[in-house]
Amino acid sequence: MLPPLVPADLRRVRFDDGFWAPRIEVNRTATLPIEYEQCLKTGRIDAFRLGWKPGQPNPPHVFWDSDVAKWIEAAAYSLATHPDPVLEGRLDDVIALIASAQQPDGYLNCHFTVVEPDHRWTNLRDQHELYCAGHLIEAGVAHFRATGKRSLLDVVCRYADHIHSVFGRTKGKKRGYPGHEEIELALVKLHAATGNGRYLRLAKYFVDERGRKPHYFEIEAERRGEPPERRRRGTGLPYSYSQAHLPVRQQREVAGHAVRAMYLYAAMADLAAAYADRDLLAACRALWDHLTLKHMYLTAGIGSTASNEGFTSDYDLPNESAYAESCAAIGLVFWADRMLRLERDARYADVMETALYNGVLSGVSLDGARFFYVNPLESTGSHHREDWFGCACCPPNIARLLASIGTYAYSQEPEAVWVHLYAQGRASLNVGDVNVGITQKTHYPWDGRVRLALSPDRPARFTLALRIPGWCRGARLSINGRSVTPARLLRKGYAHLERLWTSGDIVTLDLPMPVERIEANPAVLQDCGRVALRRGPVVYCLEQADNGPHPGDFILPRAGKFKVRFRPDLLGGIAVITGKARRRQFAGWSGCLYRHKDARRESVPFIAIPYCVWDNRAAGEMAVWLLTE
């Protein structure tokens, strides 16, 4: 196995385009302050004062710590690219408060310190101690990398040391693991930041122990005094809900809670790389294929039902009732990124890109102030973003991803630089001891022409690996005006341009972006007889604001022609698709629910907008999948 690609240093990537740059700025100037105020207003930050007493209202919840931790992580990433003394001071204050809540033995959890002090580590199946610990660890690493300060890193190292003293296979330790995965990938990050191998081994233990028998969740339930009939199912959900039904190397089908699954699979990929573990990698590949071939929405949303916030049977992908939690799409980005860096295969980057432009971005309004928890692909007009949630995992998760988007665009290794995402801006990468600057000029994702100017600090021979997206057919490529044939250079979806590069070299990539009618597998019963519109990486939908009521009744002719026009005045600047459709006339249905004669159909124009910006105007219906002749 090759060593994984190294992601670009976030501090050395800048976007100045019309798509990501405004969203990053809104995230920095609107979303982060809003989320901070929400964490204050709801008591999440003050919970670290440990002042709550039994009988008082608003006890700290089991997962409150994680919401604050994700906000810290997002704020730290923002500081890495946009220094802000006010935000940095605010972070220092919150971190000092968190440090003051740490117990003498290193334990750190608001709920179990003041609400259930006698129940630490007694219900890993249902509670979120290790999950919250994982997010605190990620926040500590992000803050350290962004600022160089160890104020939170030292706190989370003490906490991780405490956790190491509690869990493991040696005598006197608990053989447990989290019901909600997250700490596993966080410990890998902590190892990378500190070099302490104990954290990597602990991550490996948590992953390896999962699903083994005798089942730890039953053991701890017996210790809690639960009756035998409750020990296996607890909350009424099977072990597959938390991916604990089998040891991870035996798992071949995605199951259970989608967010938990993504965090686990991301950690599995991390550990496969760290230990050159081919069995773990084989499990990741099988799980990836099962997810993307039988359980993923066109938007890269995942998790089809609210009943378990996750997966059901193969090809069950309802539209109006789709769960497709924002956090699940974000988790898919995390896993795809790790698999991409490990396998160097564009199929992972394709899914990552689809998730970013569709399933993730739909989760936040254009003004950065409102959020989707659930992302359906059809709406009757009653589904809207909200200011906050009681379970507020999604808003700060979206914020931390948007603040760190630069790390997903580029990778580097000793003899190559890799470009995974196209967006106007610049990056600085290392190839051995050569610093390579890359400047992109493009109107992506609204236009597929990308111009890349290279500026190595001295002439050097290396490979520039450019992703040719899976949605693109007929890509064209030139170096300094001279055409090259991408197919001859293509390996696993990347065009490998190996040559002696000098400052001023120009690579031009043309990615044709026709509007495409997408069909679903016939086994997806909900989409039979329907098509969706996609252009480049962007999935489109019809909204009532543009098309009147009942867009789901529109019929797209098979031979219909589409036009694309960029509208700088609409929804922050988007490319819209226009064309002609047919739909039933409304006349004659008054006082009638059903009737025996065919309704007359009329030809009407339609406007399709990117799915990621729906519900930013007046309330109304929306549909991604449309009827077709």
- Residue 237 reports pLDDT greater than 90: no
- Residue pair 409/427 in contact (Cβ under 8 Å)? The answer is yes
Residue 596 scores a pLDDT above 90:
no
- The average pLDDT across 534-542 equals 98
CA 557 to chain centre: 35
In this prediction, residue 227 carries a pLDDT of 83
Q: How far apart are CA 499 and CA 431, in angstroms?
A: 13
Residue 571 CB neighbours (<10 A): 17
Nearest to 284 by CA among 265, 261, 307, 271: 265
pLDDT at 28 over 60: yes
**Residue 131, CA distances (Å) to 19, 112, 127, 149, 443 in order:** 33, 13, 9, 24, 39
Residue 472 appears among annotated catalytic residues:
no
Q: Give the pLDDT mean for 483-506.
A: 96
Helices (DSSP H) in 355-447: which residue ranges? 394-403
Which pLDDT value is given to residue 232? 61
- Identity of the residue numbered 250: Q
Q: How far is CA 69 from the centre of its chain?
A: 17
Give the model confidence (pLDDT) of 165-175 as tens digits.
Answer: 999 999 999 99
* Distance in angstroms (rounded) separating the CA atoms of residues 581 and 624: 14
Q: In 57-214, which residue ranges form alpha helices assigned H by DSSP?
A: 64-81, 85-100, 110-114, 129-147, 151-166, 183-194, 197-209
pLDDT band at 235 (very low <50, low <70, confident <90, very high): low
Residue 29 has pLDDT above 80, yes or no: yes
pLDDT tier, 586 (very low <50, low <70, confident <90, very high otherwise): confident
Q: Is a pLDDT exceeding 70 seen at residue 236? A: no
The answer to whether residue 249 scores a pLDDT higher than 80 is yes
pLDDT given at position 198: 98
- The string of pLDDT tens digits covering residues 411-463 is 999 999 999 999 999 999 999 999 999 999 999 999 999 999 999 999 999 99
498-507 per-position pLDDT tens digit: 999 999 999 9
Mean pLDDT for the stretch of residues 26-47: 98
Whether the link from the prior residue into 522 is cis, omega within 30° of 0, is: no
Tell me the domain boundaries of the chain.
9-14+247-408, 42-246, 413-510, 516-628
Where is average pLDDT lowest: 204-218, 227-241, 373-387, 574-588? 227-241
- Please tell me the distance from the alpha carbon of residue 257 to that of residue 254, in angstroms, as a whole number: 9
C-beta of residue 495 within 8 angstroms of C-beta of residue 418: no
Answer yes or no: is pLDDT of 379 > 80.
Answer: yes
Element (H, E) at 280: helix 278-294
Per residue in 328-373, pLDDT (tens digit) is 999 999 999 999 999 999 999 999 999 999 999 999 999 999 999 9
Calculate what percentage of the chain has a pLDDT beyond 90. 94
Whether 393 sits among the annotated catalytic residues: the reply is yes
What is the predicted pLDDT for the residue at 234? Answer: 54
Which of the residues 284, 393, 472, 541 is marked catalytic?
Answer: 393
On the question of pLDDT at 40 being above 90, the answer is yes
Confidence of residue 587 (pLDDT cuts 50, 70, 90): confident
149 exposure class (CB count in 10 Å sphere: 0-12, 13-18, 19+): middle
Q: Which among 309, 343, 378, 621 is annotated as catalytic?
A: 309
- How far is the C-alpha of 28 from the C-alpha of 134, rounded, in Å? 24
Structure confidence at residue 600 (pLDDT): 87
Instruction: Report the chain's mean pLDDT, rounded to a whole number.
Output: 96
- What pLDDT score does 228 carry? 75
User: Taking 80 as the threshold, does the pLDDT of residue 20 lie above it?
Assistant: yes
**Residue 233: which pLDDT band, with cuts at 50, 70 and 90?**
low
pLDDT level of residue 533 (50, 70, 90 thresholds): very high
Q: Is the pLDDT of residue 230 over 80?
A: no
Residue 590 has pLDDT above 90, yes or no: no
pLDDT of 598 = 82
Mean local confidence (pLDDT), 610-623? 97
Percent of the chain at pLDDT exceeding 70: 99
CATH class of 413-510: mainly beta
Question: What is the spatial distance between Cα 220 and Cα 206, in angstroms, rounded to a whole number?
Answer: 16
Between strands 562-567 and 574-584, the pairing is antiparallel
CA dihedral 148, 154, 156, 157 (to 10 degrees): 110
Taking a C-beta distance cutoff of 8 angstroms, is the pair 259, 268 a contact? Answer: no
Cis peptide leading into residue 214 (ω within 30°):
yes
pLDDT, one tens digit per residue, over 92-122 is: 999 999 999 999 999 999 999 999 999 999 9
User: For residue 390, is pLDDT > 90?
Assistant: yes
Which phi and psi angles does 407 have, rounded to 5°? Answer: -70, -15
